[in-house]
Structure 1
Amino acid sequence: MAEAPGEGTLARSPDFIKLIDMASESVGGKILFATDDFFAPAENLIKSDSPRFKEHEYTEFGRWMDGWETRRKRVPGHDWCVIKLGIQGVIRGFDVDISHFTGGYAPRISIQAAHVEEGKDPQMPQRGERTGAAATPEELAAVAELKSNDWDYLVPMTEVDPGKLASGHNYFFVNSQQRWTHVRLNIFPDGGIARLRVYGIGQKDWTATDPKEPLDLVAIAFGGACVGFSNAHFGHPNKMIGVGPPKSVADGWETARRLDRPPILENDKNGILLVSCWEWAVFRLAHPGVVTQIEIDTKYFKGNSPDSCKLDGCVLTMHEEEVMIREKWALPGHRWKQLLPATKLSPNESHTFQSLTLHLQDVITHARLSIKPDGGVGRLRLRGFPNSICLLRPREKPAMRLSVKAGFRSNL
């Protein structure tokens, strides 16, 4: 039985938009079905870029629109589509964006979701070119196997706020800890939606992993998340733990130039800048574990990569993490264990380092990447082995040395 989620609530610029869009085509999101794609196909909903508008461009079916737009309905019912998420996990909120749909947006929407077990998806016909088309009897029969009418409502039927011409964001909070794989967007009765963003946190089934195969323990797709940073002027640190390689300089963490740099820069004997200032970002691992290999990718950061970096790890309970967030990560130095000492970086290059982890008992729950003095990093990968560790209550004694086990529980 699914949890009863709280009712969707409109908001403006909520924090959840810093999370990953689990439906985006850039992470493998896919449109499985749409009742109608007459003016513009549902695939536009999950584009990773912002919607555009071409004032004087038309197709043979009507005005060109960058979104999903159905014909004016003249039969009973309403339009809807089904999206298979590229990243499975916990949904924290939605953005129903109707930018540029001034006279044709869908006046009401609702959103449902389901967890469909791996391999239980019906065999859906290939959608192909959809503009001007409606769902075929074969598609309707195939999607009926999902029984999406019965899926849980994360957003009940709600009126859409048209907002401004180029900024029609409608944000909805979600109060549910369920793991979801599919969503169904309903529009009432017809109309257009530019983009649907499904923001959340990835969640991996750790019990199904090979205990001998190292995994990226900080990946956002598995549940890793940035929980603090010193500066994110040009890009949030969560982008560093995104899916796949970086796509551009915008797809990474980048800080402003520090104003406390020395007027004239000098190097030490190892070629590292002699500056005392560091920028940093702290991550909660997707699963506690032992980090054995570190990858830091500065691709696309050609004139703005950091001079050097270092990486530290620690073990924190959830309560301790909450305290650290409030205290801006003023964690005593002795709590951090060094995984990578200060190390020179090169621009536009992928760097791989071996962790200083000496024992397979060196479990961490959080990692802190520090860069000197400032700059940008496209990707951070912390490969290693997950390990069970109790985080349900504050530590009263120093952390015990734990050994890696082949089997472990995924629910901490």
Structure 2
Amino acid sequence: MITDNPLHTEFTRSLIDLAAERVGGETLTCSDDFFAPMENLIKPGRGVFIADKYTDRGKWMDGWESRRSFGRDNGRDHDWCILRLGIPGIIKGIDVDTNHFRGNAPLAFSLDAACLNDDGFAGKNHPEWVEILPQRLVEAHSQNLFRIPSLTPWSHVRLNIYPDGGVARLRVYGQPHITWSSVLTGELVDLAAITNGGQAIQCSDMFFSDKNNLLMPGRATNMSDGWETKRRRDNQYDWVIIKLGAEGSINKVIVDTNHFKGNYPDRFSLEAITAHNDDFYQNKNWQTIIPDTKLMAHHEHLLISEIIADPRQTFTHVRLNIFPDGGISRLRVFGYRKEDLL
């Protein structure tokens, strides 16, 4: 169960897990993962416990777990794991989750970061590693959440655990830093994609599932992998505001209700704005991009001719309105960056 820690609420509502497997995060190497593989660190959820499940090395654990350190002859005083962030960015917080690691959690941990162009240079002793969080004590079977006062964009992190033990999940919360170096000039791109720096920043409700699921790569794997609101019992409607990864035009939109068969919205509309303040919902300058449009269940809706905005007009945010409530699995907002329209 997720705790009610206010830091967890702050991180998950305003930041993105830059290291998550679903956005391309990858564990590259570690000092030791004798009992449980490092790849578990970035998987979804908090990890599960199966009481009677064992491997030929011992108890099966849903996390990363190294062997006991006493008697080592390799001169290593702690274990470590190096990860490449799926989205390079400015790291603002961390969650070292020791869920189900009760008698085998580390005593302490620290976090280093680096900005590296090639995974091959991400060795433990590479000179670019910088400590961004000094040693902190670890609580067993808990979310260990800490703010990180970093202003530098990073591409890799190194989790150090002292002296050994197990961590179920590592969450590296931050703000994406996109260079756009891989995008060709004049290329149509999904400006809302989380991997391009898009972020769902406000919504009316996300009772069943998180608003940022809308922007994840690929199509949804199931109904939980989307944005779903509770049933409204009034005459209002639900909405979500998305900050685009770059200011740009809106030339093609995809609204996908994949897996939402009995609980998709009846209709939707899309609005947009160019704004540089935080009062988005109250702002009166929202412009209709796609008028009120009927939706179908479990269907990927491609909308091009329905867009009524000038194809060269640029925006910084979009607002997806659903009537009256329900679930959307993905939203794609394709356009040209403002720089490419000049």
Structure 1 and Structure 2 fold alike (TM over 0.5): yes
Q: Distance in 2 between matches of 1:248 and 1:95?
A: 26
Q: Indicate conservation of the 8 Å contact 2:47/2:63, yes or no.
A: yes
Separation of aligned partners in 2, 1:190 and 1:197: 19
Q: Is the 8 A contact 1:23 1:84 kept in 2?
A: yes
**1:174-221 Cα shifts (integer Å, max 9, x gaps):** 222322111100011111111111122322212542122100111112
Q: 2:133 matched to 1:155?
A: yes
What RMSD in Å do the two structures reach over aligned CA positions? Answer: 1.9
> Does 2:219 match 1:236?
no
Residue 348 of structure 1 aligns with which residue?
Answer: 298
Quick one: distance in 1 between partners of 2:314 and 2:56? 61
Per the TM alignment, residue 359 of structure 1 is displaced from its structure 2 partner at its CA by: 4.0
2:258 to 296, 299, 303: 299
Percent of residue pairs bearing the same amino acid type: 39
Aligned residue runs from structure 1 range 9-408, under 5 A = 12-18=7-13, 19-73=15-69, 74-75=71-72, 76=75, 77-117=77-117, 120-122=118-120, 144=123, 147-148=125-126, 150-162=128-140, 165=141, 168-260=142-234, 277-317=236-276, 321-322=277-278, 324=279, 329-332=281-284, 335-354=285-304, 355-360=307-312, 362-388=313-339, 404-405=341-342
Q: Kindly name which structure, 1 or 2, has the bigger radius of gyration based on alpha carbons.
A: 1
Amino acid aligned to 2:133: V
- C-alpha distance after superposition, 1:54-74 (max 9, x if no partner): 222222222211111111112
Aligned partners of 2:34 and 2:58: how far apart in 1?
Answer: 9
d(CA) in 2 for partners of 1:93 and 1:143?
Answer: 22
Q: Name the structure 2 match of 1:272.
A: none
User: CA contact under 8 A between 1:11 and 1:172: conserved in structure 2?
Assistant: no
| Alignment partners' CA distance in 2, 1:209 and 1:184 | 29
1:96, 1:196 within 8 Å by CA — same for their partners in 2?
Answer: yes
- Pairs aligned (count): 331
Letter aligned with residue 15 of structure 1: E
Deviations 1:336-363 (A, max 9, x none): 2211010000010000101222241x11
Q: Taking structure 1 as reference, are residues 196 and 243 closer, same or farther at Cα in structure 2, changes over 3 Å only?
A: same
Q: What is the TM-score normalised by the length of structure 1?
A: 0.76
Q: What is the DSSP-based 3-state SS (H/G/I as helix, E as strand, rest coil) of the residue aligned with 2:171?
A: strand
1:148 Cα offset (Å): 4.0
CA deviations 1:78-131 (Å, max 9, x no partner) are 1111111122222221110101111111110001111111xx221xxxxxxxxx
Q: Please list every run of at least 4 consecutive aligned residues from structure 1 whose deviation after the TM superposition is greater than 4 angstroms.
A: none
Distance 1:190 1:150, change over 3 A: farther
Mapped partners of 1:170, 1:221: distance in 2: 26
**1:260 Cα deviation from its structure 2 partner:** 1.8
Query: Aligned partners of 1:44 and 1:149: how far apart in 2?
Result: 27
Q: For 1:14 and 1:253, locate their aligned partners in 2 and report how far apart those are by CA, in whole Å.
A: 17
C-alpha distance 207-102 of structure 1, shift in aligned 2 (>3 A): closer
TM-score (normalised: structure 2) = 0.91
CA distance in 2 between counterparts of 1:13 and 1:291 reads 34
